[in-house]
């Protein structure tokens, strides 16, 4: 197994997370640092993506690397029956690091166990999305001035939402209080509630989603109900509009409250909210570039000192 692969942030220490935030902050000051001259970054996307793939590719380009890969598995030899194992072994011949999104939970772990180069998990099914979590942590720290002692509301698809699963686990060092708001069909799975209990993390489950419910939120983390994860589309139709954020629900919000969303959005945040000081999801997506530059460097053994020296 490649120890430097990034499959999850759940095992990262508080110090490591804070170190990665400092790395990302360097890249925010100057993203154009050619630390990866002569390297090749492969992006293998077995599931659709806009932000994750493009920000990883931008990160690699701004670091001076070259990028190979695919955005659509239909154009690969997987359609001829090639296995994930063989694909990973082949691409390892060409690239120094592989960024992979896959629809199967555990695919990134599996790839990290067989690949001779580092694997970066760009999302595996409903399981984990560590690079999203890194940019979420960066954004929370940026907007709140800290990661400790925050009220974090998670709303929408908490069952299949890999972004909320990943974030919940990485926040264990920072004494959060989580508030879960989801249709019963999409409630936070027991495994993550048990995780909270194991680490002494407080959580509250709400049925209501009103101005009063969210009045003490520091972070309101909205998510999309993911149609593509439903086997029964009638169930999707029943739940998809259950928890929508309307502008008038912000009238009691704390001044520091920020609305985050991993995006894409469908209809769960009213468009007029984009104009309010609470909306922060587009800046959040921008932070994905800096966070992913930090993660690529980290898995390739490039340190914060190396980054600071490369102005």
Q: Which of 52, 163, 213, 223 is catalytic?
A: 52
User: Any catalytic annotation for residue 87?
Assistant: no
Q: How far apart are CA 213 and CA 227, in angstroms?
A: 26
Q: Closest CB to ligand CP among 27 and 221?
A: 221
The verdict on whether 51 is a catalytic residue reads yes
Is residue 177 at the binding interface for ligand CP, with CB under 6 A as the rule? no
Structure token digits, residue 268: 């769960």
Q: Which of 21, 1, 26 is nearest to 173 (CA)?
A: 21
Q: Could you tell me which stretch among 50-58, 66-74, 241-249, 301-309 binds ligand CP (CB under 6 A)?
A: 50-58
Residue 238: active-site member: no
Does 213 contact ligand CP by CB under 6 A? no
Residue listed under structure tokens 């939120």: 217
Q: Respond yes or no: is residue 172 known to be catalytic.
A: no
Q: Please report, for residues 122, 152, 200, 208, 310, the alpha-carbon distance to residue 163 in angstroms, rounded to integers and kept in the order given.
A: 11, 13, 21, 22, 32
Closer residue to ligand CP, CB minimum distance, 167 or 302: 167
Site for ligand CP (CB under 6 A): how many residues? 9
Q: With binding defined as CB under 6 A, does residue 262 bind ligand CP?
A: yes
Q: How far apart are CA 279 and CA 245, in angstroms?
A: 11
Determine which one of 129, 224, 240, 292 is catalytic.
129
The candidate with the shortest Cα–Cα distance to 97, out of 72, 129, 63, is 63
**3-class secondary-structure state, position 12:** coil
Q: Are 119 and 2 a contacting pair, CB within 8 Å? A: yes
Among 51, 62, 165, 258, binds ligand CP (CB under 6 A): 51
- Measured from the CB atom, is 55 or 112 closer to ligand CP? 55
- Check if 242 is active-site: no
The residues that are catalytic are 51-52, 80, 101, 129
Residues that bind ligand CP (CB under 6 A): 49-52, 123, 132, 262-264
């Amino acid at each position: 197994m490649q120890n430097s692969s990034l499959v999850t942030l759940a095992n990262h220490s508080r110090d490591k997370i804070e170190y990665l935030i400092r790395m990302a902050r360097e890249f925010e000051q100057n993203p154009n640092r050619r630390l990866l001259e002569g390297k090749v970054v492969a992006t293998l996307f077995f599931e659709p993506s806009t932000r994750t793939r493009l920000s990883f590719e931008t990160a690699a380009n701004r670091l001076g690397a070259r990028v190979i890969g695919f955005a659509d598995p239909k154009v690969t030899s997987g359609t001829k029956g090639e296995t994930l194992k063989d694909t990973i072994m082949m691409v390892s011949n060409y690239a120094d690091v592989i960024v992979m999104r896959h629809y199967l939970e555990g695919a990134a772990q599996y790839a990290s166990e067989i690949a001779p180069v580092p694997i970066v998990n760009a999302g595996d099914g409903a399981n984990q999305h560590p690079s999203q979590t890194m940019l979420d942590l960066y954004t929370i720290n940026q907007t709140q001035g800290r990661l400790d002692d925050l009220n974090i509301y998670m709303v929408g698809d908490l069952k299949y939402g890999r972004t909320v699963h990943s974030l919940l686990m990485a926040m264990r060092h920072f004494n959060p209080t989580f508030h879960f708001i989801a249709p019963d069909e999409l409630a936070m799975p027991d495994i993550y509630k048990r995780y909270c209990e194991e680490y002494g993390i407080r959580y509250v489950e709400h049925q209501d989603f009103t101005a009063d419910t969210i009045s003490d939120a520091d972070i309101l983390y909205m998510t999309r109900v993911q149609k593509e994860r439903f086997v029964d589309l009638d169930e999707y139709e029943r739940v998809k509009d259950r928890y929508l954020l309307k502008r008038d629900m912000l009238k009691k919000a704390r001044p520091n409250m920020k609305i985050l969303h991993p995006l894409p959005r469908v209809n769960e945040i009213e468009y007029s909210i984009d104009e309010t000081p609470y909306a922060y999801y587009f800046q959040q997506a921008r932070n994905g570039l800096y966070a992913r530059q930090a993660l690529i460097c980290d898995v390739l053994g490039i340190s914060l000192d190396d980054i600071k020296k490369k102005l």
